[in-house]
């Protein structure tokens, strides 16, 4: 960088900052003014005259109330607009932009190149001159998409071409340019290297200044209904989708808000890890939840299988797991539900005072009296209507019963007053009208009147009706909530007759195996326990029978770590969010829950969308780890060849094998010490929770935090964490505990080992006792160092 360039750029920066500060002052004034005018508007209530004696008076009152409300709402929104602008400007005042591009539009003959500056948000001065462009504007795409020369970029009106003559990147601190460099590439390696060599932190950062071309495609895609991103560990999938959320909120501002975007993430720790990215980009956070949370909160009475249980279950029957998670099973659920249109619904009696008031046979008669053209949801609705009608008819019948008589006699003074509504109810206000009456009284100030009865009989009837209606209310609620369907029995029935709806042999499952499994499910049911696979099927069946249509207001759905989902779960999510566009990210090599069968996931999920609306993007370049760590960990895989390491130098991974457990433990202690001296934040990753707990007990006295549950927070400093909770996270230094033949040997642990090894940014140490793990032995010796300790 020449000195002259620096001086010119600093001068431009000063000018920009000067303008921003001017705008800040103006905005501050606006906020002050809008606060004042809000107070003025609020005092307008004093002028609203309440006239209630005539109809026209009421209308007039209502109109002036409405006008007054509008005036306040307008001023409030002016105030909050000014406040948002103030916040944005305050952020810009330190670091208004990070890049500059000069380009010419080939269609603008004779015009010289135009320079634009790119920052986290746009800035235009009071005269409307643009000083900074938001990184999400179409033109800013030029910065991410290519080097110098011709670059095509997409705008809402179609593709545009630009001839780029300069790309300059800045680092600005506190209003001063610290560094500035020109680059010919999309994003200069120097800048990226700089961004990547930082230390890990408990919070993910935005990558806005160094988004790569491939990532930019993911971020700006608006066409696909299903955007499927497959990428190696550390290739920036998560980083890219956080940017994508920010992009979409900007691109569709005014039409899309963060409440309409949902992200399914692997665990709660991960939610905590990424929750700063969007605020850093000036956006509101999105709704984030795990599949477990989504499913289990709909079934409060069941203990749904947790993440730890799912990971640590001794693989009971992989064939059955695979079958339950398949699209065939999804279709079988639909077919079974369909069959309920003819017969097979499991109903339960509607009991009242311990006796069946409407028997299950009667309910089934009603349910099946509608012809075959009814859909399940219509059939249910019609049944509910009929049941509610017969419930209403019951009022008259029950009023004559002895229990009502007894109840009237036993009414206390308070209960009586409450029912009759002395002092609060006007004659003629029926029960339904109570809310309306209360509002009327409140608004119009009418005096309440006492209820008067013409005769004892009238009073008795009134009370009896009240008592019966109240007593029947829970039943009405039950009917409205379809509580007369015995969904548990229905579910078990479905599993029993499953062989009529799909071919179990296609999954290698024999009748005997299935019967045995069924017994297990029934036993679990009795204990109120459900596996995640069963929970999903249960919920889908329930939704089909009750005609639920899912959440229609959600427009974008993101699923991270998709390899841990079954096709069934994905199909269920598609059903549950029918209007959402899906962005899904995954790395089949990190499938630690679903193993081999994750391979067909891409195809299975894509089959649920129109082919022309599906886009696949593959990311092979990794950013998280040093070249040495990536080159080692990709060799753990059979198909890791295509993974490309980022050219960032570091030490070789080290395998430390001790003779016995005690030696290994000592090695961990030494490593913790060494890492602490080198200021590398360490995660000791164990395979299971139990191993993590054991190790923590053995490391008593060391400064390490055990992360045993996803509901914990990630602590700074060294942590011990089981593998399934480390998903998606990263650490300066990783120690893989028990990296030996006793613990990592089966072929299906290859992915697990790869997943944990790829969490390391700068240093990877594997510590074990006894024999070397065959999975590590398969890696070429030049790719790691081996020490006997």
Which positions make up the binding site for ATP? 231-238
Contact region for ligand ATP (CB under 6 A) — 211-219, 327-335, 406-414, 768-776?
211-219
Q: What is the DSSP letter of 540?
A: H
Q: Which of residues 39-58 bind ligand ATP (CB under 6 A)?
A: none
| Dihedral angle sign, alpha carbons of residues 711, 716, 719, 723 | positive
Task: Find the shortest distance in angstroms from Cβ 390 to ligand ATP.
Answer: 56
Q: Which residues contact 159 (CB under 8 A, 6 or more apart)?
A: 152, 153
Q: Which of 247, 623, 632, 737 binds ligand ATP (CB under 6 A)?
A: 623
* DSSP secondary structure string for all residues of 565-611: S-HHHHHHHHHHSTTPEEEEEE-GGG-SSSGGGGGGHHHHHHTTS-G
d(CA 603, CA 607): 6
Q: Which of 20, 99, 172, 211 binds ligand ATP (CB under 6 A)?
A: 211
Contact region for ligand ATP (CB under 6 A) — 64-72, 208-216, 306-314, 442-450?
208-216
Contacts 24+ apart (CB under 8 A), 360-364: 360/484, 363/387, 363/484
Q: Which of 9, 214, 564, 587 binds ligand ATP (CB under 6 A)?
A: 587
d(CA 346, CA 290): 31
Encoded tokens for 212: 């790569």
Q: Which of 27, 88, 92, 215 binds ligand ATP (CB under 6 A)?
A: 215
Q: Is 196 in the site for ligand ATP (CB under 6 A)?
A: yes
Closest to ligand ATP by CB, 79 vs 624, is 624
Closest to ligand ATP by CB, 419 vs 757, is 757
Task: Find the shortest distance in angstroms from Cβ 192 to ligand ATP.
Answer: 6
Task: Find the shortest distance in angstroms from Cβ 701 to ligand ATP.
Answer: 32
Task: Find the shortest distance in angstroms from Cβ 178 to ligand ATP.
Answer: 18
Task: Find the shortest distance in angstroms from Cβ 721 to ligand ATP.
Answer: 14
CA 270-273-274 angle, to 5 degrees, is 95
Measuring CA to CA, which residue among 355, 295, 340, 374 is closest to residue 485?
340
d(CA 249, CA 578): 20
Q: Which residue is nearest to ligand ATP (CB)?
A: 236
Closest to ligand ATP by CB, 587 vs 740, is 587
Contact region for ligand ATP (CB under 6 A) — 77-85, 190-198, 437-445, 653-661?
190-198
Q: Is 192 in the site for ligand ATP (CB under 6 A)?
A: yes
* DSSP secondary structure string for all residues of 270-317: HHHHHTTHHHHTT-PPPEEE-HHHHHHTT-TTSEEPPHHHHHHS----
d(CA 698, CA 9): 58
Q: Which of residues 217-256 bind ligand ATP (CB under 6 A)?
A: 231, 233-239
Q: Name residue, tokens 């209403």.
A: 392
Contact region for ligand ATP (CB under 6 A) — 13-21, 209-217, 286-294, 408-416?
209-217
Q: Which of 38, 71, 195, 741 binds ligand ATP (CB under 6 A)?
A: 195
Q: Is 188 in the site for ligand ATP (CB under 6 A)?
A: no
- Bridge partners, residue 649, by sequence: none
Closest to ligand ATP by CB, 184 vs 553, is 184
Q: How many residues bind ligand ATP (CB under 6 A)?
A: 23
Whole-number Cα distances in Å, 322 to 156, 318, 507, 566, 786: 43, 6, 8, 8, 39
Task: Find the shortest distance in angstroms from Cβ 598 to ligand ATP.
Answer: 13
Measuring CA to CA, which residue among 748, 785, 750 is closest to residue 652?
785
Q: Which residues contact 301 (CB under 8 A, 6 or more apart)?
A: 528
Encoded tokens for 666: 């000592």
Task: Find the shortest distance in angstroms from Cβ 716 to ligand ATP.
Answer: 16
Task: Find the shortest distance in angstroms from Cβ 750 to ligand ATP.
Answer: 16
Measuring CA to CA, which residue among 765, 744, 769 is closest to residue 658?
769
Q: Is 207 in the site for ligand ATP (CB under 6 A)?
A: yes
Encoded tokens for 634: 């990709």
Closest to ligand ATP by CB, 194 vs 666, is 194
Measuring CA to CA, which residue among 440, 485, 460 is closest to residue 399?
460
Q: Which of residues 751-780 bind ligand ATP (CB under 6 A)?
A: 758
Closest to ligand ATP by CB, 262 vs 544, is 262
Closest to ligand ATP by CB, 168 vs 237, is 237
Q: Is 588 in the site for ligand ATP (CB under 6 A)?
A: no
Closest to ligand ATP by CB, 391 vs 760, is 760
Task: Find the shortest distance in angstroms from Cβ 191 to ligand ATP.
Answer: 9
Q: Is 79 in the site for ligand ATP (CB under 6 A)?
A: no
d(CA 23, CA 17): 10
Closest to ligand ATP by CB, 16 vs 141, is 141
Query: Judging by beta carbons within 10 Å of its beta carbon (0-12, 13-18, 19+), is residue 782 exposed, middle or buried?
Result: exposed
Task: Find the shortest distance in angstroms from Cβ 141 to ligand ATP.
Answer: 15
Q: Name residue, tokens 């599993």.
A: 495
* DSSP secondary structure string for all residues of 429-462: --STTHHHHHHHHHHH-PPP-----SSHHHHHHH
Other CB atoms closer than 10 Å to residue 17's CB: what's the count? 18
Closest to ligand ATP by CB, 231 vs 421, is 231
Q: Which of 624, 634, 648, 751 binds ligand ATP (CB under 6 A)?
A: 624
Q: Is 728 in the site for ligand ATP (CB under 6 A)?
A: yes
Contact region for ligand ATP (CB under 6 A) — 19-27, 191-199, 385-393, 526-534?
191-199
Task: Find the shortest distance in angstroms from Cβ 363 to ligand ATP.
Answer: 50
Closest to ligand ATP by CB, 543 vs 587, is 587
Task: Find the shortest distance in angstroms from Cβ 215 to ligand ATP.
Answer: 6
d(CA 144, CA 166): 13
Closest to ligand ATP by CB, 16 vs 212, is 212
d(CA 588, CA 761): 21
Task: Find the shortest distance in angstroms from Cβ 273 to ligand ATP.
Answer: 9
Q: Which residues contact 129 (CB under 8 A, 6 or more apart)?
A: none
Closest to ligand ATP by CB, 108 vs 184, is 184
Please report, in range form, the residues annotated as the binding site: 231-238
Task: Find the shortest distance in angstroms from Cβ 132 to ligand ATP.
Answer: 21
Q: Which of residues 670-689 bind ligand ATP (CB under 6 A)?
A: none
Closest to ligand ATP by CB, 547 vs 650, is 650
d(CA 682, CA 674): 10
Task: Find the shortest distance in angstroms from Cβ 671 to ligand ATP.
Answer: 22
Whole-number Cα distances in Å, 436 to 424, 430, 466: 13, 10, 18
Contacts 24+ apart (CB under 8 A), 375-384: 375/341, 375/547, 376/337, 376/338, 376/340, 376/341, 376/544, 376/545, 376/547, 377/546, 377/547, 378/547, 379/341, 380/482, 380/485, 380/545, 380/546, 380/547, 381/547, 384/479, 384/480, 384/482
| Pairing outcome for strands 654-658 and 785-788 | parallel
Closest to ligand ATP by CB, 103 vs 623, is 623
- Residues within the interface to ligand ATP (CB under 6 A): 192, 195-196, 207, 210-212, 215, 231, 233-239, 587, 590, 623-624, 728, 730, 758
């Amino acid at each position: 960088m020449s000195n002259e360039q620096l001086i010119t750029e600093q001068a431009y920066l000063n000018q920009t900052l000067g303008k921003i500060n001017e705008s800040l002052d103006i905005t501050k004034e606006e906020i002050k003014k809008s606060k004042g005018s809000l107070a003025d508007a609020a005092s307008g209530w004093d002028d609203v005259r309440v006239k209630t004696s005539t109809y026209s008076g009421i209308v007039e009152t209502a109109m002036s109330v409405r006008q007054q409300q509008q005036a306040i709402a307008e001023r409030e929104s002016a105030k909050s607009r000014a406040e948002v602008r103030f916040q944005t400007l305050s952020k810009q005042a330190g670091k208004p932009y990070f890049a500059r591009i000069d380009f010419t539009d080939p269609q603008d003959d004779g015009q010289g190149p135009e320079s634009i500056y790119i920052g986290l948000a746009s800035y235009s001065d009071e005269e409307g001159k643009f000083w900074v462009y938001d990184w999400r504007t179409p033109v800013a795409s030029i910065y991410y998409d290519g080097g110098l020369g011709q670059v095509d970029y997409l705008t809402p009106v179609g593709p545009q071409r630009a001839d780029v003559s300069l790309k300059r990147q800045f680092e600005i601190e506190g209003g001063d340019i610290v560094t500035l460099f020109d680059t010919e590439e999309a994003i200069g390696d120097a800048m990226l290297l700089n961004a990547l060599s930082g230390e890990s932190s408990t919070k993910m950062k935005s990558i806005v200044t160094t988004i790569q071309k491939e990532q930019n495609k993911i971020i700006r895609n608006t066409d696909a209904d299903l955007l499927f991103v497959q990428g190696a560990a550390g290739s920036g999938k998560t980083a890219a989708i956080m940017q994508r959320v920010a992009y979409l909120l900007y691109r569709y501002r005014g039409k899309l808000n963060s409440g309409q975007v949902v992200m399914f993430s692997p665990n709660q720790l991960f939610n905590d890890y990424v929750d700063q990215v969007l605020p850093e980009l000036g956006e509101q956070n999105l709704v984030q939840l795990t599949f477990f949370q989504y499913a289990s909160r709909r079934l409060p009475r069941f203990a749904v299988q947790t993440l730890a249980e799912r990971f640590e279950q001794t693989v009971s029957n992989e064939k059955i797991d695979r079958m339950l998670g398949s699209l065939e099973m999804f279709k079988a659920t639909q077919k079974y539900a369909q069959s309920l249109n003819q017969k097979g619904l499991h109903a339960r009696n509607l009991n009242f005072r311990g006796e069946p008031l409407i028997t299950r046979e009667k309910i089934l008669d009603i349910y099946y009296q509608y012809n075959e053209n009814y859909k399940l949801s219509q059939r249910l609705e019609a049944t509910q209507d009929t049941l509610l009608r017969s419930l209403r008819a019951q009022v008259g019948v029950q009023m004559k019963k002895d229990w009502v008589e007894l109840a009237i006699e036993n009414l206390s003074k308070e209960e009586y007053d409450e029912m009759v509504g002395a002092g609060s109810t006007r004659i003629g206000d029926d029960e339904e009208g109570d809310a309306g009456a209360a509002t009327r009284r409140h608004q119009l100030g009418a005096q309440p009147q006492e209820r008067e009865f013409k005769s004892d009989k009238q009073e008795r009837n009134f009370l009896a009706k009240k008592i019966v209606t109240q007593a029947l209310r829970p039943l009405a609620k039950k009917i409205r909530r379809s509580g007369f369907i015995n969904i548990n029995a229905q579910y078990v029935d479905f599993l029993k007759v499953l062989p009529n709806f799909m071919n179990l042999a296609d999954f290698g499952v024999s009748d005997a195996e299935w019967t045995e499994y069924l017994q297990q499910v029934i036993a679990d049911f009795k204990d109120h326990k459900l596996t995640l696979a069963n929970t999903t099927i249960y919920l889908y069946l329930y939704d089909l029978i009750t005609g639920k249509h899912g959440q229609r207001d959600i427009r974008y759905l993101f699923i991270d770590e998709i390899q841990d989902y079954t096709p069934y779960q994905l199909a269920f999510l598609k059903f549950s969010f029918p209007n959402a566009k899906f962005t899904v990210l995954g790395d089949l090599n990190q499938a630690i829950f679903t193993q081999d069968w994750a391979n067909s996931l891409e195809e299975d999920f894509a089959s649920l969308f129109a082919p022309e609306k599906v886009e696949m993007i593959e990311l092979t370049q990794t950013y998280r780890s040093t070249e040495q760590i990536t080159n080692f960990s990709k060799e753990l895989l059979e198909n890791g060849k295509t993974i490309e390491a980022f050219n960032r130098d570091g030490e070789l991974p080290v395998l430390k094998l001790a003779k016995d457990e005690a030696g290994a433990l000592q090695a961990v202690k030494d490593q913790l010490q060494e890492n602490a001296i080198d200021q590398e934040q360490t995660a000791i990753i164990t395979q299971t929770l139990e191993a993590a707990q054991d190790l923590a007990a053995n490391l008593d006295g060391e400064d390490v935090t055990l992360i045993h549950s996803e509901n914990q927070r990630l602590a700074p400093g060294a942590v011990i964490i089981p593998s399934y909770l480390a998903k998606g996270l990263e650490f300066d230094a990783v120690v893989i505990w028990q990296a030996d033949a006793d613990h990592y040997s089966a072929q299906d642990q290859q992915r697990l080992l790869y997943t944990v090894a790829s969490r390391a940014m700068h240093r990877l140490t594997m510590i074990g006792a006894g024999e070397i793990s065959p999975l590590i032995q398969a890696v070429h010796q030049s790719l790691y160092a081996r020490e006997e300790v």
